[in-house]
Amino acid sequence: MQQAFICDALRTPFGRYGGALAGIRADDLAALPLAALLARQPASVAQAIDDVIYGCANSAAKIGESAAWQQRAAQVSQYGMAAIADGAAARWFTPAFCERAPATVQALLTQLRACDAESYADCCDALASADLRHELAAIHLPVLVIAGRDDAVTTVADAEAMVAHIHGAQLVVLPASHLSSVEVWLAFNRALQPFIDAQLTQQQRYQQGMTVRRAVLGDAHVDRTLENLSPLNDEFQHFISRYAWGEIWTRPGLSRHTRSLITIGMLIALNREAELKMHLRAAFNNGVSRDEIKEVLMHAALYCGLPAANAAFHLAQSIFDERDSAR
């Protein structure tokens, strides 16, 4: 079983997966519209999903009009992706975002133009016939619906209709157009994270924390810690993985790279040599460079004092030498 906590502008499932889906990575699964998946394999896939919670972003139970989708399918089939690519930016984003982030817009348009025209036309045909409005009342799972305030494709009214028919569903409206997960990605993540957190059990938080703890500190370090568990420290180590790594290090507001730099600075200030040594090693797993570590130590000299920074420089040099000798 595994968990996927990624949501984008698709009907994207996240939860625990087994059976037919057990080998699919979370980031792969996030690219699959669940409605189409279940429609094609209702017997096998539906039974393979348990304890799922839904994140529905910039979508609707019935998207647009059938005739419009059929017309688009015909356009693409006859003239290729260029027939619809030029007008896509205006549907996807607000004018302000197009002006503010032209490189992002162009990158997505390039991807759209590179799509296989026949496959895209097939998707349009599928959307022309897709109408899930009668199925909404049958959903008895936690649901978060995210809408874009300026989305003319899947409107706020569409989102409100879904929330009205799905028991207990929550609605968040963001200041964006159709691709809200791109246009206001930070606000999107901040809306999604509390919803995910509310569904997690303590054991799930622990498992999520262990995944991050291993990614940052390395398997060897974590394995040594687990080998040294005792009746005295077992609950403490579980707490560290669940709280520090499962709740704080997984928050979307800061990257792991940034958290490493902050942690190094705070440990210098607190004069915690053992922890500082551990996080100096771990920083490289988060993409921190030697020059960046040096800048943090120089900054610490200014605000934590010369003796603290001097000790940190010696410790950092020993870590650098250790890495060099291991090559």
Whole-number pLDDT of residue 3: 37
pTM above 0.85, yes or no: no
Instruction: Using alpha carbons, select from 94, 60, 63 the residue that is nearest to residue 175.
Output: 94
Per-residue pLDDT band at 197 (split at 50, 70, 90): confident
- Chain segment 239-288, per-residue pLDDT in tens: 999 999 999 999 888 999 999 999 999 999 999 999 999 999 999 999 99
Residue-wise pLDDT for 121-176, tens only, equals: 998 998 999 898 998 888 877 889 999 999 999 999 999 999 999 888 999 999 99
pLDDT digits (tens, 9 = 90+) for 20-67: 333 333 333 333 333 433 333 333 343 444 444 556 788 888 999 999
Section 111-118 average pLDDT: 92
CB neighbour burial string for 285-295, b if at least 16 within 10 angstroms, e if fewer: bbebeeeebee
Residue 88 confidence class, pLDDT cut points 50, 70, 90? very high
Three-class SS state of 14: strand
Token output for 153: 């494709």
> Residue 148 corresponds to which amino acid?
G
- The amino acid at residue 83 is A
Query: Between 113 and 53, whose confidence is greater?
Result: 113
Confidence of residue 108 (pLDDT cuts 50, 70, 90): very high
Please name the CATH architecture into which domain 204-326 falls.
Up-down Bundle (1.20)
CATH no. for 26-198: 3.40.50.1820
Distance CA 327, CA 324 (A): 6
**Residue 101 in 3-state DSSP?**
coil
Q: What is the pLDDT of residue 45?
A: 41
User: What's residue 24's pLDDT?
Assistant: 38
Would you kindly state where each structural domain of the chain is located, as residue ranges?
A: 26-198, 204-326
pLDDT, tens digit, 9 for 90 and up, residues 201-238:
888 889 999 999 999 999 999 999 999 998 899 889 99
pLDDT of residue 222: 95
State the amino acid at position 135 in one-letter form.
E
- Residue bearing the bigger pLDDT, 200 or 160: 160
